[in-house]
Amino acid sequence: MNEPFIDIDSPIHRTSPAVRVAVAFLLSLVTALAKTPVVPLAALVLGVFSVLVARLPLGAVAKRLLPLCFFLILLWVVLPFTGGGPVLHTFGPLTVKADGLNLALLISLKAFSILLVLMALVSTLHTFAMGHALYALGMPEKLTFLIVMSARYISVIEREYQKLRNAARMRGFQPDTSLHSYRTFAHLAAMLLVRSHLRAGRVYNAMVLRGFDGRFRLLTDSRPEGLRGCLPQTAVMAFSVVVLVALEVAVRMGWGLFNC
């Protein structure tokens, strides 16, 4: 798998995987449920700080943010002109309304902050370490196993698909909207399903021959130290979650008192 953020030495990489997954989930949840831009803006600052602390390559981070930017551009083109509220400005037949503009801003802040937090805390985890973290946090064992194996073999299935596509192109296949193209893509999907099933059987037999009993076990040398070796990082992350929660509660209470 392509995991470019793993082999980096930083305080975040030395933090327990379970702590990182739990903090990422809580920060994302609090940010997603925020009703005003205050908490998402604070989370955005925290996300940028986390990326810098994790020493992630800024070029790779920007490359992963690019698809989100294209999606948000569509929202900014549509939402300010379709929302409600007072009219802020008029461009010919189009009117910019306050509620639509605020909603676009809120969605943008939430999206960027959550993605940056996930990149700093979760994408820096190896797939199997993330599986152990999910299992340690109480996720069902079978679901954890399914997530880990899916993450591991998505790239393998993608390579199989590319081989089939290249074989079709070598035989002169040009995709279009004809019945022949639809039939060819159906054959590609069927062959991909068959090859995936055969590979899954080979992988399972290989794992059984190596003593696999349905559980992943980390080697002793690479086993996480729990909270003992990362108390400062854990304390800072927990404090960040508490601050965001307290900020959201304060904002909501302030709005409630203002409305009363």
Nearest CA to 50 out of 123, 109, 147 is that of: 123
Q: Could you tell me if 196 and 145 lie in one domain?
A: yes
7 and 73 in contact (C-beta within 8 Å)? Answer: no
Q: Could you tell me if 143 and 159 lie in one domain?
A: yes
Q: What is the pTM of this model?
A: 0.76
Nearest CA to 152 out of 208, 220, 199 is that of: 199
* DSSP letter, residue 97: E
> Model confidence over 208-229: pLDDT tens digits?
898 877 666 654 444 444 555 5
132 and 218 in contact (C-beta within 8 Å)? Answer: yes
Q: What's the rounded mean pLDDT across residues 181-207?
A: 89
Q: Could you tell me if 214 and 229 lie in one domain?
A: no
> Model confidence over 63-91: pLDDT tens digits?
999 999 999 998 888 888 887 767 777 77
Here the contacts of 182-185 (C-beta below 8 Å, separation 24 or greater) are none
> Model confidence over 15-65: pLDDT tens digits?
888 888 999 999 999 999 888 888 999 999 999 999 999 899 899 899 999
Which helix or strand (DSSP H or E) is residue 94 part of? strand 94-97
Q: Count the domains in the chain.
A: 2
Residue 216 lies in a domain: yes
Residue 34 lies in a domain: yes
Q: Could you tell me if 115 and 238 lie in one domain?
A: yes
pLDDT at 139 (0 to 100): 80
Q: Could you tell me if 63 and 149 lie in one domain?
A: no
Give the pLDDT band (50/70/90) at residue 141.
Answer: confident
Residue-number span of the structural domain to which 193 is assigned = 136-220
Residue 250 lies in a domain: yes
Residue 7 lies in a domain: no
